[in-house]
Amino acid sequence: MGAIFDNFGSGVIPLEGYIFVSLIMFFAGIYGFLSRKSLLMILISIEMILNSADINFAAFNRYLYPDQMEGFFFALFTIAISACETAVAIAIVINIYRNLNNVEVDSLHELQEPEPSETKVDL
């Protein structure tokens, strides 16, 4: 933390700065994933978590191994894969909407046992 303030105003952004942003994005995503009721919002939250990881990849590559490019490519791969994943997820969400007329995550209980009503075993 100290590094951010040490170099404040020097025009150099230290690694910790990137990690801090990524940390905020990650937990914002986690929070969104746990608290949002809409499937679309949950999907966006997942994207945020993935993007925070991408930032980490890029930042670590830039600061620790400046001569190499693996981190950037990893980030590119992750973006491509998250695009695919989003496409699949959106397809699922659309189907859910067609069946249930909403995209609330709580309404997905078709496979759940009905509410417990003292089922008595016939002896």
Partner 1 sequence: MEYTLYILILPLLSFVVLGLMDTKWKPVVAGTVGTAILTIVAALSYYTAWEYFSTANLNGTYQKIIAFNTVWVQFNEHLHIDMGILLDPISVMMLVVISTVSLMVHIYSLAYMKGERGFERYYAFLSLFSFAMLGLVVSTNIFQMYMFWEMVGLSSYLLIGFYYTKPEAVAASKKAFIVTRFADLGFLIGILILSYYTKTFDFGILTSCDANVFASFSGVTFMGASALSWAMALIFIGGAGKSAMFPLHIWLPDAMEGPTPVSALIHAATMVVAGVFLVARLFPIYITFTPEVLHGIAYVGAFTSLFAAVIAIVQTDIKRVLAFSTISQIGFMMVALGVSGYGGQAGTGYMASMFHLFTHAMFKALLFLGAGSIIHAVHSNEMTQMGGLKKFLPVTRWTFLIACLAIAGIPPFSGFFSKDEILAATMHFSPGLGVIMTFTAGLTAFYMFRLYYRIFHGKKYQTTNGHTPHESPVAMTLPLVFLGVVTIFAGFIPFGKFVSSDGGYYHIHIDPTIATISVVVALAGIGLATWLYRKENDASAAVARKFNTIYRAAYHRFYIDELYLFITKKIIFKRISSPVAWFDRHIVDGTMNGLASVTQWVSLKIKGFQSGKIQHYAFVILLGTLIIAAIVIFI
What does each C-alpha distance from 112 to 38, 67, 74, 96, 107 come to in angstroms?
19, 53, 39, 16, 11
Options 73, 91, 95, 109; binder of partner 1; rule CB under 8 A: 109
Tell the smallest beta-carbon distance from residue 119 to partner 1 (Å). Answer: 8
Any contact of residue 114 with partner 1 (CB under 8 A)? no
Structure-block tokens of residue 106: 């709580």
d(CA 72, CA 112): 43
Options 13, 30, 44, 58; binder of partner 1; rule CB under 8 A: 30
Please give the residue ranges that form the binding site for partner 1 (CB under 8 A): 30, 33-35, 42, 105-106, 108-109, 111-113, 116, 121, 123
